[in-house]
Amino acid sequence: MSDLPFGFSNRDDDERKRGDEPGGPGPSDPLGFGIGGAGAGGFDPAQLGQMLTSLGQMLSGMGQPGAGQAGPVNYDVAKRLARQQLGATVPPVSASTTSAVSDAAHLAELWLDGATTLPAGATKTVAWTANDWIEQTLPTWQRLCDPVAEQIAGMWTTSLPEEARQFAAPMVGVLGQMGGLAFGSQLGQALGQLAKEVLTSTDIGLPLGPSGTAALLPTAISEFSAGLEQSESEILVFLAAREAAHQRLFAHVPWLRQQVLGAVEDFARGIRMDFSALEQAAQEIDPMALTDPSKLEEILAQGTFEPQTTPEQKQALERLETLLALIEGWVQVVVTDAVGDRLPGAGALAETLRRRRATGGPAEQTFATLVGLELRPRKLREAAALWRSLTTDADIATRDGIWAHPDLLPNSDDLDSPAGFIDSVTGGASTAFDDPLAQLAETEAREKAEREQREGGPELGKDGSASD
């Protein structure tokens, strides 16, 4: 999988991922116009009519009332293209299926009560179609994608000399609309594929749906269940337990949603582009090559426009990866304790889901493409092992109490070498962790005392007295 954010592609990855169908859209063809099929140099003139037709459909709404684009991504295009991939009609969820989802969620919640101190977090459980998933999760995708798109779009104008910016001013709006169409097209294709295979609203580990709403997608679950040894009803209860556990965590750890989504925004602010490579490429281009479509495609695919990874981005991605691993690891432990003795096939189901993520399923591929993050399975396994050790060596209340404040969570180094963190909880500091906020206050007091000692005396208040 590529580590590049959406709007960019890696040529080697594109060649590996390009489908077998001639002219089929792929990562190097985000607009889905069929460039890259048969013909000299990968350009098929027979596809030109289809390409222009698709482009005309995308541009037809520009300038019409109500078709305005607010932001760097055209989400109307994204939604339309995503739904087109689902087919003309998506059958609604039947009443019996909706009832089965509700019953599974109710049973899962009862079992989870004994596996965690966090109470139920979902106020309702719903059965979504793929169209419902697109509609209900798009606001969160907008928050995830806008910062990346804004940062990339702004670089094209801010990197120009002042004279060039003034000269290009009349075109900025048009370029913005075209960029929004391109970003919206890529997002729409990714979401359309993901909507057909996602099982719950928290498959990626993010709170994609509305707050307090637990959602399962019965059609995708039926397809996922095909070929597995467990019955579909058993799989439904297992997935309902995973969804309910995610909802408990996001509902009762109020800072968690902001921390996760904020890490994506921090990543976007760190994006930088090397325009010196663009200048050099412009000097070396043979004007005659521009008349040859295959040569032009080769020039544009040389990686000139790829973003440069910065230290700030690496830090943001590490924080995000660690948070997602901790979330998934906690859910895995809690669900195992809740359903393990009740569903004989729970262990095999958990392993199936681990393999699905380890091999880079649609959720991981979409997230890597749109955000630039690849969630490493190694971190998931180590996070689960850490939560399991805390459950065994301490107790459930101590384990769940660590979510009381972000400063109490283990970091990436703790996941790699958890012994020290676990000892700090289960050893001499175990009583302090019965009240995590008290332990945090104790840490702050100790740091303050050390700072006062370095500065040669206690901190003084405005009245000259020593501060508490």
What is 262-315 written as a DSSP string?
Answer: HHHHHHHHT-EE-HHHHHHHHHH--GGGGG-HHHHHHHHTSSTTPEEP-HHHHH
- Indicate whether 446 and 348 sit together in one domain: no
Q: In the predicted model, what is the mean pLDDT of residues 398-427?
A: 91
Tell me: pLDDT of 12 over 50.
Answer: no
Tell me: pLDDT of 298 over 80.
Answer: no
Domain end marker among 371, 392, 412: 371
* Euclidean distance between CA atoms 232 and 229, whole angstroms: 9
Domain annotation covers residue 64: no
Domain annotation covers residue 182: yes
Q: In the predicted model, what is the mean pLDDT of residues 107-111?
A: 97
Digit-coded pLDDT (tens) for 259-290: 888 887 777 777 665 555 555 655 565 656 55
Domain annotation covers residue 65: no
- Indicate whether 422 and 324 sit together in one domain: no
Per-residue confidence band for 87, with pLDDT thresholds at 50, 70 and 90: confident
Domain annotation covers residue 404: yes
Q: What are the angstrom distances between the C-alpha of 304 and each of 28, 121, 156, 168, 274?
A: 14, 47, 13, 21, 8
Three-class SS of residue 228?
A: coil
Tell me: pLDDT of 401 over 80.
Answer: yes
- Indicate whether 143 and 256 sit together in one domain: yes
Tell me: pLDDT of 356 over 60.
Answer: yes
Q: In the predicted model, what is the mean pLDDT of residues 373-389?
A: 81
Domain annotation covers residue 336: yes
Domain annotation covers residue 80: no
- Residue 432 has a pLDDT of 41
The total of structural domains in the chain comes to: 2
What's the pTM value of the predicted model, to 2 decimals? 0.72
Name every residue whose Cβ is closer than 8 Å to that of residue 101 and which is 6 or more positions away in sequence.
Answer: 93, 125, 126, 127, 216, 218, 236, 240
404-442 burial code (b ≥16 CB/10 A, e <16): beeebbbeeebbeebeebbebbbeeeeebbeebeebbee
- Indicate whether 255 and 386 sit together in one domain: no
* Residues 23, 48 contacting (CB under 8 angstroms): no
- Indicate whether 224 and 149 sit together in one domain: yes
- Indicate whether 420 and 356 sit together in one domain: no
More confident residue, 344 or 364: 344
- Indicate whether 329 and 417 sit together in one domain: no
Q: How large a percentage of the chain has pLDDT more than 70? A: 60
Tell me: pLDDT of 306 over 70.
Answer: no
* Euclidean distance between CA atoms 196 and 86, whole angstroms: 7
Tell me: pLDDT of 429 over 60.
Answer: no
Residue 165: give the domain boundaries: 88-271+310-371
Per-residue confidence band for 380, with pLDDT thresholds at 50, 70 and 90: confident
Domain end marker among 331, 347, 371: 371
Domain annotation covers residue 340: yes
- Indicate whether 201 and 320 sit together in one domain: yes
- Indicate whether 450 and 342 sit together in one domain: no
Tell me: pLDDT of 113 over 80.
Answer: yes
- Indicate whether 364 and 384 sit together in one domain: no
Name every residue whose Cβ is closer than 8 Å to that of residue 421 and which is 6 or more positions away in sequence.
Answer: 386, 410, 414
Per-residue confidence band for 190, with pLDDT thresholds at 50, 70 and 90: confident
Domain annotation covers residue 61: no
**Helices (runs of H) and strands (runs of E) counted in the chain:** 19, 4
- Indicate whether 104 and 230 sit together in one domain: yes
Q: How high is the mean pLDDT of the chain?
A: 75
- Indicate whether 437 and 395 sit together in one domain: yes
* Euclidean distance between CA atoms 121 and 249, whole angstroms: 7
Tell me: pLDDT of 49 over 70.
Answer: no
Domain end marker among 325, 346, 371: 371
